Amino acid sequence: MSSQVMEKIENNVLVKDYLEDLPLSSSYEAAMEALSSLITRQKRGEKSSIGGKYEKLERMSMYLKILSLEEDILGLKIIHVAGTKGKGSTCTFCEAILRECGFRTGLFTSPHLIDVRERFRINGLEVTEEKFLHYFWDCWHKLEENITEDLPMPPLFQFLTVLAFKIFVSEQVDVAIFEVGLGGKTDSTNVIKEPVVCGITSLGMDHTETLGTTLGQIASHKAGIFKPKIPAFTVSQPSEAMDVIQERASELMVPLEVAPTLDHEKLEGLELSLSGDHQLINAGLAVSLCKCWLQRTGNWEKLFKNDSLEGELPEAFRRGLSSAYIAGRAQIARDTSSVSYTSSNVFESSCGDLIFYLDGAHSPESMEVCAKWFSSAINENENSLISSYKVENMNGTHFSKALFVPSMSAYNKVTSGASVIPLDISNKDLFWQYSLQRLWEKIIHGKEVDVVSDKGSRIDIARNLPREFLYEDASNCSPTDNQFACSAVMPSLPLTINWLRDCVKENPSLRLQVLVTGSLHLVGDVLKLLRR
């Protein structure tokens, strides 16, 4: 049925009545097919392949005009946040704080891990399927009716950004918090003309093929969200980045402040809900952004009367900071497939213990933060029974094995939490995974080592990885006959999860702690599998 829907979409035939008659699940999958048709095949750093004569932000304004949203979004009281690291966490903290202050909140973040609706949150909850479909098809049909050769359908992220404006306007949120997708200056969200306040999180080297090869160039893109005379906050930055941010602020007469890192004592015994010391930086920025938002919208005095902006944190702020939630960032998930329940509903492990530590770090700076968090998290569990091998460059973290696994996510398709998980691995290209394994083995051995070159042999070895691999003493790690005691390449993620589960099922004394990192898409795929 969804392929029939896609054929009609591709032929620009209106399918509104047909879709409204579909069962909810079918209509939702049809929406995913429609979204998938908006994915461009453009590679990073390449010139945009979108047709038409208009630039991205011009197109965004035209899409908003078609949907009669141009005037409406001026009424949204927006917090706009750019940055390299921590912008999702900062936005999530802001949403939780202002929700605890009693406001109806809208939060737009990216990417999603399991379901596209994660990107749109109303009062802390992802928008329901019914509401998503109502707003989605309304936007889709109106845009489809008005596309021309000069104004094609928007690519995926632009459509999702337009959809966020539609949802937040329709849901009449009191505050809308927008996380920049990529960069800032030319990002789709930068169609926002009059935010209440802007923020820039910690900057680092990321997306260099698009944003530039220096911190100054990257900072220039991020500071592109500044608007004349609109207050902005940032965190401590390297001087190369801070100089550019301050220069841009000066040009636009932007009141710019450096938000102080949150003093843990101000939480008065509570803990930040997001793990890692770096979250104190993000939380401090969120506090400054929320205080400014409350003050500029006339709500600070209403809520906190004569309380000083520089005084103690209001209780609502502390509640928000201790309850904010974002998946895939310093998240610990225990696999419940190995857990049974007694008659008194008390956990009882009938086999080993399998715990996943999930963090989507994918830049050098964020990977270092991830390493520190993981080291701290596992050091709290001193009774681990697995053997370990020390990797000196990872903050003293001990690993017994490394598994290199391709993600399930297809970059040409948007899926939902209920989408079928592909199991066909015969044609999976594992070149990147074997390249990473070669690098890992070089780190361990201090020299280049060969890996199996024949594709068929590689997949057979990985598919039939013996359980004994896990128990081999990694301290005596040495490659023999193209078998590696320190690492392995696995041909699929479902196979890897099942292999780990089988290992702990066979050994009741085993406590297996697995760090999943390097990609938010991979983290999302693991979470999707753990749910099933």
Which residues define the annotated binding site for ATP?
329, 359
The order of strands in the sheet holding 331-334 is 331-334, 353-359, 511-517
Q: How many CB atoms lie within 10 A of CB 84?
A: 23
Q: Are 93 and 193 in contact (CB under 8 A)?
A: no
Distances (CA, A) of 29 to 22, 129, 421, 532: 10, 11, 14, 19
**What is the spatial distance between Cα 201 and Cα 89, in angstroms, rounded to a whole number?**
10
3-state secondary structure 225-238: HCCCCCCEEECCCC
φ/ψ (deg, to 5) at 436: -65, -40
- The helix or strand, by DSSP H or E, that contains position 45, with its residue range, turns out to be none
Q: Are 222 and 245 in contact (CB under 8 A)?
A: yes
Distances (CA, A) of 528 to 13, 88, 110, 184, 417: 34, 20, 17, 30, 7
Q: Are 395 and 377 in contact (CB under 8 A)?
A: no
Q: Which residues are annotated as part of the binding site for Mg(2+)?
A: 110, 179, 207
**What is the spatial distance between Cα 89 and Cα 327, in angstroms, rounded to a whole number?**
10
Is the CA virtual torsion 162, 330, 367, 361 positive or negative?
A: negative
Strands (E), 56-189: 78-82, 105-108, 120-122, 125-126, 175-179
**What is the spatial distance between Cα 138 and Cα 143, in angstroms, rounded to a whole number?**
9
**What is the spatial distance between Cα 250 and Cα 435, in angstroms, rounded to a whole number?**
46
3-state secondary structure 81-108: EECCECHHHHHHHHHHHHHHCCCCEEEE
Q: 3-class SS at 350?
A: coil
**What is the spatial distance between Cα 304 and Cα 313, in angstroms, rounded to a whole number?**
11
**What is the spatial distance between Cα 238 and Cα 240, in angstroms, rounded to a whole number?**
6
Q: Tell me 154's DSSP state.
A: P
Q: Tell me 202's DSSP state.
A: B
Q: Which residues are annotated as part of the binding site?
A: 110, 179, 207, 329, 359
**What is the spatial distance between Cα 333 and Cα 377, in angstroms, rounded to a whole number?**
12
The candidate with the shortest Cα–Cα distance to 205, out of 319, 352, 359, 365, is 365
